[in-house]
């Protein structure tokens, strides 16, 4: 029997009839009804094309069952910091830094959409049940752009929605929100107008609600997307903040509020740019942490890792009002990307993680004492492309990397790492 039942009341989320977080003594009233979340999209991931290439990042073999079980084991730690939801995709998502997505076969649906791989179904069921026991929601995403081409027809897409919904319905899950597609309007969905066009997506949202027996349904668009027809069809308005400035996400939420003033808005994918979090919180909107490098490149280390993960956890606790031991100033900065196992294709991805990136003016990165790159936007990365994307660097063992952190108050701090 389920122990966590998610529902909505106006713009708020309720668990078992009470606003989320209201049960926590000392929690901030402004947080009540939010659904702070993270993108754990690869929770049931496998690759039927060439699984051996995911024996990496310190792992000698690839085991999709162990990968899911490791996420289950990590959930209690995330829960303690206030995480109450996470997104998992039947078709996964990415990776975006190391392997061409089009070469991966991570589609559990049959080509006609009428079947669901029982191994994926089993892993998803274990995750949802584990979340239910903790008091967490799983946002179950059905389609990912680079995988949906494995379902060649529109009828197959409709069938797959029905198959996925009936899987969730028949198990009587009460802690699930359905995301029909991850970023339905991006180019990889062009082969399926039913998914990419707002009118088709609005129909699929209604169809999913019907086939699931009344579960909460929405669908995310690409970073900054808001289309009125999809917003009005959704129970939960799912948005992405990728590539958006603080002002742009403010404008996006403001626009959505004019169309749907009494619906909850959940960003279930942004970036590791923690400076975005206060904008969402100030507007009563739930924020979703997305870190491709620590949480989307299989095999994922699902725990709260030093640096970006740890700082996101602390900021979540701060928004909710969960007491956590304060971090000394020196602990609030971490030169990331030089962990021994975090390398692929001879590349590393250096970046300066910070608890309060709002305090930073810019970061200068030095390689063996020579200025290599500078970054002026959060997150502060080498080869910055967007707030969720950076270019890699081919490094050598023994190199000394230094991040000189220029704070807005005029001070300069420094972090250093030696390349393994």
**What does the chain come to in residues?**
420
pLDDT, block means (10 residues), the chain with 420 residues: 94 98 97 98 98 95 98 98 98 95 97 98 98 98 97 98 98 98 97 96 98 98 98 98 97 98 98 98 98 97 98 98 97 98 95 98 98 98 97 98 98 98
**Fold classification of 331-418 (topology level):** Immunoglobulin-like (2.60.40)
Given this chain, do its domains 6-320 and 331-418 carry the same CATH topology? no
Domain range annotation of the chain = 6-320, 331-418
Instruction: Answer yes or no: pTM beyond 0.95.
Output: yes
Q: Is 333 helix (H, G, I), strand (E, B) or coil?
A: strand
Q: Specify the pLDDT at position 5.
A: 98
CATH code reported for the domain at 6-320: 3.20.20.80
What is the number of other CB atoms lying within 10 angstroms of the CB of residue 213?
12
Spatial CB neighbours of 175, under 8 Å, sequence gap ≥ 6:
2, 4, 5, 6, 128, 131, 132, 136, 137, 138
Backbone φ and ψ of 134, nearest 5°: -80, -30
Residue 127 pLDDT? 98
Q: Which residue, 297, 293, 312, 418, is CA-closest to 368?
A: 418
Cα separation of 362 and 408, whole Å? 8
Dist CA 155 CA 390 (whole Å): 38
The confidence score (pLDDT) of residue 354 equals: 98
Q: What angle do CA 77, 177, 209 make, to 5 degrees?
A: 170
Q: What is the 3-state secondary structure (H, E, C) of 265-323?
A: EEEEECCCCHHHHHHHHHCCCECEECCHHHHCCCCCCCCCCCCHHHHHHHHHHHHHCCC
pLDDT at 2: 85
pLDDT the model gives residue 153:
97
Q: Furthest-apart CA pair in the chain: how many Å? A: 61
pLDDT for res 147: 97
């Amino acid at each position: 029997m389920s122990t966590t039942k998610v529902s909505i009341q106006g713009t708020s989320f309720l668990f078992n009839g009470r606003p989320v977080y209201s049960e926590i003594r000392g929690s901030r009233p402004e947080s009540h009804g939010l659904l702070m979340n993270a993108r754990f999209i690869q929770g049931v991931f496998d690759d039927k094309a060439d699984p051996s290439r995911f024996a990496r990042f310190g792992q000698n073999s690839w085991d999709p069952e162990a990968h899911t079980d490791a996420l289950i084991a990590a959930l209690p730690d995330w829960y303690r910091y206030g995480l109450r939801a996470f997104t998992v995709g039947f078709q996964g998502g990415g990776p975006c830094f190391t392997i061409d997505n089009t070469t991966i076969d991570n589609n559990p649906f049959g080509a006609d959409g009428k079947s669901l791989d029982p191994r994926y179904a089993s892993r998803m069921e274990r995750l949802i049940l584990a979340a239910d026991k903790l008091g967490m929601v799983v946002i179950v995403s059905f389609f990912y752009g680079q995988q949906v081409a494995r379902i060649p027809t529109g009828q197959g897409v409709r069938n797959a929605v029905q198959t996925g919904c009936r899987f969730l319905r028949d198990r009587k899950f009460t802690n699930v929100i359905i995301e029909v597609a991850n970023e339905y309007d991006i180019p990889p969905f062009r082969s399926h107008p039913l998914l990419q066009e707002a009118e088709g997506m609005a129909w699929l949202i209604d169809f999913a609600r019907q086939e699931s027996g009344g579960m909460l349904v929405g669908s995310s668009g690409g970073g900054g997307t808001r289309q009125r027809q999809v917003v009005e069809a959704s129970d939960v308005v799912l948005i992405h903040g990728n590539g958006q400035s603080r002002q742009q996400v403010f404008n996006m939420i403001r626009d959505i509020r004019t169309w749907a003033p009494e619906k909850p808005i959940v960003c279930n994918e942004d970036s590791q740019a923690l400076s975005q979090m206060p904008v969402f919180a100030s507007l009563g909107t739930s924020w979703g942490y997305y870190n491709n490098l620590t949480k989307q490149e299989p095999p994922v280390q699902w725990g709260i890792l030093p640096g970006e993960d740890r700082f996101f956890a602390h900021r979540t606790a701060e928004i909710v009002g969960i007491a956590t031991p304060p971090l000394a100033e020196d602990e609030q900065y971490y030169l990331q990307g030089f962990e021994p196992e975090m390398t692929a294709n001879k590349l590393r991805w250096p970046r300066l993680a910070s608890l309060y990136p709002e305090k930073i003016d810019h970061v200068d990165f030095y390689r063996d004492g020579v200025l290599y790159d500078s970054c002026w936007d959060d997150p502060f990365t080498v080869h910055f492309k967007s707030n969720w994307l950076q270019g890699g660097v081919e490094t050598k063992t023994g190199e000394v990397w230094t991040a000189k952190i220029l704070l807005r108050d005029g001070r300069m701090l420094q972090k250093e790492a030696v390349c393994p």
